[in-house]
Structure 1
Amino acid sequence: MKIYVTSVFVDDQLKALAFYTEKLGFVEKERIPLGGAFWLTVTGPDQPDGPELLLEPDGHPAVKPYKEALVNDGIPAASFAVDDVHAEYDRLTGLGVSFTQQPTAMGPVTTAVLDDTCGNLIQIVAR
């Protein structure tokens, strides 16, 4: 068994697509129209056939309170691996990305947490 697709709920799919591709560096994989929304996925640029991240609309009534509770408690909705958290933090802050947690050593990992501009906190992590 392996991960095929996982998702983050976003308040605006096209805004999320711009952020996840232009700022975070993912590449668009699938865009399938579904009425007023899309099946819209991104993947790592070095893993075109790897796991996909679905930028899922947050229209379900349970999603917004869930997202707000996570953000209010500082809990990331997703975690992405990077080679160097400090370098990625510098690169992303240079692109105007807002962080809620600066790079922090936590035992064998270093993490930082950013705001994806679509209602989520996202953690970056390096071992």
Structure 2
Amino acid sequence: MKDLRAAVERMRADWADFMGFMAEGVIGAEVVTSPVYEAGPFHLQRFITGLSPAEENHMGEAILRGDGTVEYLKTYRLSAAQTRRAYLLKQLAQGGWSLERTAEQLKTTRDELIVRLRNAGFGYLLKEHVLKAAETRLTRR
């Protein structure tokens, strides 16, 4: 039993080290949280880190007890491409989903933003004639 207890303690220590390694990009990072659901003393929240291209970025969800105890945590590490896409969507949301306002925030033109959205895989969000007109105007420059 003594050997078994020692093995369990080693396994727990190894697991804690591994989990710290896997979550080091999210622990201590600035995150934005959004409440999703509340059930009794439990609160489901979604979160996303600051979407800085120079840093590791995560998004996920957590279930918190009323006293702040984490009961469940799931995090997904975003690739560089996913980070860029999430950043674009965040900028659009902050701009009220207006292409003109978002382009102004990003210090670019509306046409350049449209092409950037298409290149990021969001072309399906725009009408085909809007995409083609923006591409045509950009190629004529």
Interval of TM-score (by shorter of Structure 1 and Structure 2): under 0.3
Please identify which structure carries the higher strand content. Answer: 1
Tell me which of the two structures has the higher relative contact order, counting C-alpha pairs closer than 8 angstroms and 6 or more residues apart: 1
Larger Rg computed on CA atoms: 2
- TM-score, normalised to structure 2, is 0.19
Please identify which structure carries the higher helix content. Answer: 2
